[in-house]
């Protein structure tokens, strides 16, 4: 799924104004946020320590669904922050742990996830939960611009929380069907509706559904 392409449909004037000038897209794969950005992915180095590979600053540093794959997200964000020029912005998007992981870690839908994220909680079911609000506030000289839950198109009636949330046969059928769609592009809506009634499903596979947190932090200019 091209996450940036899907997310751009949700943006307004705020996001468009921030993502201007020189920018870098970390972990963009084949879906950079805009054609003019500098792309940084696996072939370019280790995004956990990106400042070892990139020695310049940008008007915006953007990363969509990359931070959850980093070994130490809190330290990684501080390293990404080094690439933000004064007056520039760090703009990142991560899955929401309740809507995406649905009470289970390691993630059922992406076992490469190293952490889960919530906007702000005193306690979480996840042993590796990170509060994005605290993460944003940890950035030196940072000013939180926007922190939002994006759940457009997400059907909470299908939300099933915890490891014993649904029938094993339905989850097996859902995985097989997801593989079929990925390989062939065939969509069988009656079968899809039947499976989703019982299975724990990744709704973000739908082109119109989001289950993520978007955070924008500005780096304040130095005082004269």
**Per-residue pLDDT at 169 exceeds 70:** no
Q: Reply yes or no on whether the pLDDT at 223 is more than 60.
A: no
pLDDT digits (tens, 9 = 90+) for 187-217: 888 877 777 777 788 899 888 999 999 999 9
**Tell me, what's the pLDDT at 224?**
44
The pTM (predicted TM-score) of the whole model is 0.88
CATH architecture of 3-154+204-219: 3-Layer(aba) Sandwich (3.40)
Helix axes 189-198, 168-184, angle to 10 degrees: 150
What residues contact residue 35 under an 8 Å CB cut-off, 6+ apart?
Answer: none
Summarised one tens digit per residue, pLDDT across range 16-64 is 999 999 999 999 999 999 999 999 999 999 999 999 999 999 999 999 9
Sorted by where each begins, the domain ranges of the chain are: 3-154+204-219
């Amino acid at each position: 799924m091209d996450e940036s392409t899907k997310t751009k449909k949700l943006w307004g004037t705020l996001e468009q104004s921030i993502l201007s000038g020189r920018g870098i897209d970390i972990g963009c794969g084949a879906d950079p946020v805009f054609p003019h950005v500098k792309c940084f992915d696996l072939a370019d180095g280790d995004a956990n320590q990106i400042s070892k590979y990139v020695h310049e600053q940008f008007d915006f540093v953007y990363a969509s669904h990359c931070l959850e794959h980093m070994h130490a997200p809190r330290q990684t964000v501080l390293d990404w922050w080094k690439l933000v020029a004064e007056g520039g912005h760090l703009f990142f998007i991560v899955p929401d742990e309740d809507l995406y992981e649905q009470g289970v870690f390691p993630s059922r839908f992406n076992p490469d996830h190293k952490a889960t994220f919530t906007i702000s909680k005193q306690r979480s079911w996840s042993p590796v939960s990170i509060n994005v609000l605290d993460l944003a506030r940890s950035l030196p000289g940072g000013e939180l611009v926007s922190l939002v839950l994006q759940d457009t198109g997400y059907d909470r009636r299908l939300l099933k929380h915890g490891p014993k949330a649904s029938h094993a046969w339905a989850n097996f059928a859902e995985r097989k069907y997801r593989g079929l769609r990925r390989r062939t592009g065939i969509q069988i809506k009656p079968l899809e509706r039947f499976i989703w009634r019982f299975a724990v499903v990744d709704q973000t596979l739908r082109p119109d559904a989001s289950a993520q947190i978007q955070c924008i932090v500005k780096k304040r200019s130095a005082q004269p």
